[in-house]
């Protein structure tokens, strides 16, 4: 197997903060690799080191077989970078932004122009092509930003939280774009705070916290380690809570928790759902809500690290509601 990205023992400090505390990564060519972690985990720092923007204090890394320090210029000829904040020039039009990149990459004027036209069409920006990017919506900016990182047909693409701040529709569009790129053989390193996003796109996920990789595996492996899914039941009458607690505990064989008048219990087997419904029915308990949702990043974190991620985990995005 060849690796598009390899990192060994990357350490990077900022004053007293250790942003990377010894990170090892190996990303096979042609795959999507997810770096999953909360704010401040060190994801952006790792991307910046791999994309030659920042020197690591210790350790070394190669991209496409080239050392990111010694052969930075060669690495830059292979990579595309979409940073955490859309880094398009707001005072240029969509076309001009892409022309700029094409020309900097050494394309002729004609080639740069036709590449720009093609990318704008691929990303549904043709209508806005001649407008300054400052008039674009957040989703359009993100797409232009991604288009800009693809002008040179990179072999390795870095996407730093590409969907943070996007509405669900734009997010789905972006996911489709990433899937198409991988189908074309591009290697993608994606950072995200959302388990669902890593789950949708990545073949392999490394969970990072405080600058360390604390777990690594396929999405299925990681979810299995966290108890898979969570069943939530909220009775209409809070007086029924003890009964609900007893029923769910009995059916799942796990320890349910109560929060905000809702009973939550980890489940490994979705088949318990009908059983719970039947038992609640038999006990004549009216429920306001019965939901089976995938483990959130927060729960992954809780189970892996024993502490909660510092910031709120996504909620609605991860909910797969089954309304009864």
Partner 1 sequence: MSSATLAAPLAPARRPSLAAGLRHTFTLAWRSLVQIKHNPMELLDLSIQPVMFVLLFTYVFGTAIAGSPGDYLTFALPGIIVQNAFFATMTTGFGLNNDLTKGVFDRLQSLPVARWAPLAGRIVADTVKQAWSVALLLGVGMLLGFRVGTGFAGLLAAFALLLVFSLAASWISVLVGVLVSEPDKVQIFGFMVIFPLTFTSNAFVPTDKMPSWLQRWVEINPATILADALRGLLVSGPVAGPVARSLIWAAVLLAVFAPLAVRALRRRA
Binding residues vs Mg ion (CB under 5 A):
43-44, 84
Nearer to ligand ADP, 17 or 114 (CB): 17
Using only C-alpha atoms, the chain has a radius of gyration, in whole angstroms, of 23
Tokens of 271: 């088949």
Nearer to partner 1, 74 or 225 (CB): 74
Told to check if 41 binds ligand ADP by CB under 6 A, we report yes
> DSSP state, 98?
H
Nearer to Mg ion, 41 or 101 (CB): 41
**From Mg ion, ligand ADP, partner 1, none, interface partner of 254 (C-beta below 5 to 8 A by class):** none
Q: Which stretch binds ligand ADP (CB under 6 A): 42-50, 180-188, 237-245, 287-295?
A: 42-50
Told to check if 164 binds partner 1 by CB under 8 A, we report no
Nearer to ligand ADP, 191 or 294 (CB): 191
**From ligand ADP, Mg ion, partner 1, none, interface partner of 93 (C-beta below 5 to 8 A by class):** partner 1
Task: Name the nearest CA neighbour of 195 among 167, 168, 165, 226.
Answer: 226
Nearer to partner 1, 34 or 152 (CB): 152
Told to check if 122 binds partner 1 by CB under 8 A, we report no
**From partner 1, Mg ion, ligand ADP, none, interface partner of 40 (C-beta below 5 to 8 A by class):** ligand ADP
SS3 content of the chain, % helix, strand, coil (to 5): 40, 30, 35
Interface residue with ligand ADP, options 5, 32, 42, 215 (CB under 6 A): 42
Q: Which residues of 205-222 are buried (b: 16+ CB within 10 A; e: fewer)?
A: bbbbbbbbbebbeebeeb
Told to check if 156 binds ligand ADP by CB under 6 A, we report no
End-to-end CA, the chain: 48
**From partner 1, Mg ion, ligand ADP, none, interface partner of 51 (C-beta below 5 to 8 A by class):** partner 1
> DSSP state, 314?
P
Tokens of 137: 């919506």
Q: What is the DSSP string of 132-169?
A: BGGGS-HHHHHHHHHHHHHTT--SEEEEESTTTT--HH
Residue 68: CB minimum distance to partner 1, A: 11
Told to check if 44 binds ligand ADP by CB under 6 A, we report yes
CA 162 to CA 191: how far, in whole Å? 8
CA 120 to CA 150: how far, in whole Å? 11
Task: Name the nearest CA neighbour of 57 among 206, 160, 65, 49.
Answer: 49
> How many residues contact ligand ADP, by CB under 6 A?
11
Contact 133, 89 (CB under 8 A): yes
Residue 35: CB minimum distance to Mg ion, A: 10
Binding mask 71-100 vs partner 1 (x if CB under 8 A, - otherwise)?
A: x-xx-xxxxxx-xxxxxxxxxxx--x---x
Q: Which residues bind partner 1 (CB under 8 A)?
A: 48, 51-54, 71, 73-74, 76-81, 83-93, 96, 100-101, 103-106, 132, 134, 148-149, 152-153, 155
């Amino acid at each position: 197997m060849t690796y598009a990205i390899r990192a060994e023992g990357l350490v990077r400090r900022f004053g007293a903060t250790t942003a990377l505390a010894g990170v090892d990564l190996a990303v096979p060519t042609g795959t999507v690799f997810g770096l999953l972690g909360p704010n401040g985990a060190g994801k952006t720092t790792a991307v910046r080191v791999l994309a030659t923007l920042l020197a690591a204090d210790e350790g070394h890394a190669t991209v496409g077989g080239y050392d990111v320090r010694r052969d930075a210029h060669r690495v830059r000829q292979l990579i595309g970078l979409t940073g955490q904040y859309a880094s398009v020039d707001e005072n240029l039009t969509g076309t001009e932004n892409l022309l700029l990149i094409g020309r900097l990459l050494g394309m002729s004027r004609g080639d740069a122009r036709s590449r720009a036209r093609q990318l704008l069409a691929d990303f549904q920006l043709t209508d806005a092509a001649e407008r300054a990017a400052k008039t674009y919506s957040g989703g359009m900016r993100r797409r232009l930003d991604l288009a800009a990182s693809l002008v040179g047909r990179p072999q390795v693409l870095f996407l730093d939280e590409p969907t943070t701040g996007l509405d669900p529709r734009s997010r789905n569009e972006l996911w489709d774009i990433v899937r198409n790129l991988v189908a074309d053989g591009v290697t993608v390193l994606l950072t995200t705070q959302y388990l669902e996003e890593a789950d949708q796109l990545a073949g392999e996920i490394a969970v990072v916290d405080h600058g360390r990789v604390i777990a690594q595996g396929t999405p299925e492996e990681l979810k299995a380690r966290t108890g898979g899914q969570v069943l939530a039941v909220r009775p209409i009458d809070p007086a029924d809570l003890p009964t609900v607690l007893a029923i769910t505990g009995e059916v799942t064989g796990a320890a349910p928790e109560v929060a905000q008048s809702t009973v939550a219990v980890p489940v490994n087997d979705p088949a318990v759902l009908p059983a719970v419904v039947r038992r609640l029915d038999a006990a004549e308990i009216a429920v306001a809500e019965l939901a089976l949702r995938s483990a959130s990043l927060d729960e992954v974190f809780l189970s892996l690290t024993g502490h909660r991620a510092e910031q709120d985990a996504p909620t609605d995005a991860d909910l797969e509601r089954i309304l009864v």
